[in-house]
Structure 1
Amino acid sequence: MKVGNGLRLVLGLAALMIVVQIINSVTGNSLLHHGLLPRTLTGLQGILFAPFLHGSVRHLLGNLLPFVVLSSLVLSEGVSRYVRVTVLIAILGGLMVWVIGRPLMHVGASGVIFGLWTYLLARAWYQRSLLSLAVASVALIGYSGLLLGFVPVPGVSIESHLCGAIAGIFVAWLMHGKSLGEQAAT
C-alpha cells in the first residue's frame, strides 16, 4: 500500500469514530456498553470497540486531531507497519486496562493515541536514525501536553493513557527487533 492509501485508512478510521459518535449520540449513548469494563467477560469486547467509542462529542473532538496527526507520523514507516503498530497497541493496551483498570467503563481513542506517541519517541531511541529522530521531535514538541494525561482527573481513564503508553514503548521495542531480524535475513 502507498502512503496515500495509509492516509485514507487513517481518515477512514477517524470517520468511523465520527459515525459511531453520531449513532451513539442519537441513541442516548446506547453504544457505551460495548466499552472496556475491566475484569468482566463482557468487558473484553471493549479491547476492540473502546477506541471507537467516546463519551461525548467533546471527548471525540479532543481525540480526533492527535489520532490523525500521530497516525500520520507513524505512517512514515509504511502502511503495513502502521497497521501492525496500531493493532498491537490497541490490543496490548486494552488488555492491560482490562487487567488493572478501575471497575468503570473505559472508552475513547486516547489509549491508542498515547501508544502512538510513545511508540514514536521509543522508536527514535531504538533506531537512532535522522528520520525517526525528526519524527519523534515533531511528536514530542507537538504533543508534549500529553504528559498531563498522566495526572489523575475525575472521569478520565488514566489507566488507558498509562497502558497505551506502555504498549507503545513495548511495540517500538518489539518492532525494532523485527526490523533488525528482517535486515539480517536479507
Structure 2
Amino acid sequence: MPDLQSPPARKRFFLALPIPTPIRITLSHIQKPLQSIDLPVKWQTGKLMHLTLAFLGEMDETHVEPLTAILHQIGQATPRFHLELEALGAFPSYGHPRILWMGVQPSRELVRVQKALTAALATAGYVSEPQDYYPHITLGRCAHDLTRESKQRLQAALSKPAAMQGESRWEVDRIHLYESRTDEFGLHYTPLSGVMLNA
C-alpha cells in the first residue's frame, strides 16, 4: 500500500523580539506625519511590529521543536537588556525607498544575542538572514515605485528627527519564534514559542 500520510505543512519562520505596547504607541505617533504625506504605503499595524533577529524562510513545521530548543539555549544564557529607538530610515535607500523603518540603537547586548543566535542556527544547519544586521522596526512598505515628487516629499519627512511622543526605551525580556502567514485578510505573525531571558 502506498504511504497516504500527508507531508508536514510548510511555514515561514523568523526569530524576533516582540515590541511592548508603550513602544508600539510611540511608533504609531511617528507614523502619523509620514501617513499625512498620502503615499502608496502599506503601513505596519502595532500588532505586527517586532525586531527581527533572524529570518529563516520557508520550511516544514517539524522544525518548530529544534528551533524552540535553540531559542531556549540562547535565551537561558542571555540576561535582560534595554533597547532604545534611534532614527527613521528606508531600505534599500532614501532614493529608492521600499521599506520605511525606525532604527534601534545597536547595543552591545543586542549584537551579542543576535550573533549567538545566528551562530547556534548555523551549527544546527540552518541558513538565516540577514548577513549584515541592522536592527530596525518596519513602519511601512511602499506598494510600488514612487514618483519623483513623492520621493522628495518622503525624503524630506525622513530627514527630520522623529518626534518621540511617549516612551522610546524598553526592557527586552523574551525572544519568540514566529510564523509569518498571508491570507485573504492580510499579513499575520503568530508566535509559536518563546523563552524568557534571565532577570
TM-score scaled by length of structure 1: 0.30
Larger Rg: 2
- Larger helix percent: 1
Greater relative contact order (Cα < 8 A, sep 6+): 2
Q: Which of the two has greater strand per residue? A: 2
